[in-house]
Amino acid sequence: MHFVCNFWQGSAKNMARVKLTISYLGTNYCGWQSQTNGDAIQDRVEQALSNYFGGEFVRVYGAGRTDVGVHAQGQVAHFNVDKPVNPFKLCLGVNLSLPSDIAVVDAQIVGDDFDARFSAQHKTYVYKLYVSPIRNPLLDVDHTQVYKPLDVDKMQQCANMLVGTHDFCAFQKTGSNLKGTVRTINSFNVQVQPNGAIWLVVDGNAFLYNQVRIMAGLLVQVGLGKFGLEQVEQMLNGTKLTFKTLPAKGLTLQKVFY
């Protein structure tokens, strides 16, 4: 993990708005957003900021929710504080109060018009897979195990079909209360890593509830030869197909773009 806190933007001023970039393993948490009966990453970050600022409560506003068990390399949040702020010292001090699976990796003073959620232009998620009949504990933390070989070329063909603006109504979890289901996928790449792991890297303007995990599950079905490209077309036309939504642990929010 590389800490890249912006030291040079550390000029002290009152009523600062601060942008945070936060990395975390979501395994032990109920997701990003604060909940009444769960341990949320937002709560941990707010408590750490409160400790840093001498007990004053600090409300943090995130770029978006990550669900139970989902990880982040580049979650973004902002907060306002009426105290002098040195971003470099803030990173170091706040991390002292955070558990080992959460860290603020960057802090910057930004203008009052910046909003972590509403200023975001697009986001990149990565769904990570490893192919092995035997479980690998070192990868199992943030990858999902697939037991049989995958046809990567077919998976990329499937991913290519999902790029563009589509009605993704068949790619959301049943019971979602979102009204609009049209989303734009900017890119979707199937990348084989040096260790043999397969990363599904998708960038879009926004995503439906469980959309990335369902798309990843569809690619795996195609890669295993259980589905063909005609099933991808059926889903794009609104037909829900029955297959496993992949586990949350394989999903990482890689970066939020502004």
Neighbour count for residue 133 (Cβ, 10 Å): 8
Strand, coil or helix: what is 46? helix
Cα–Cα distance for residue pair 203/186, rounded to 1 Å: 5
Neighbour count for residue 248 (Cβ, 10 Å): 18
Active site residue 142: no
Cα–Cα distance for residue pair 44/15, rounded to 1 Å: 23
Residue in 67, 101, 115, 140 annotated catalytic: 67
Can you say how many angstroms the Cα of residue 192 is from the centroid of all Cα atoms in its chain? 20
> Residues 41, 71: contact at Cβ < 8 Å?
no
The residues that are catalytic are 67
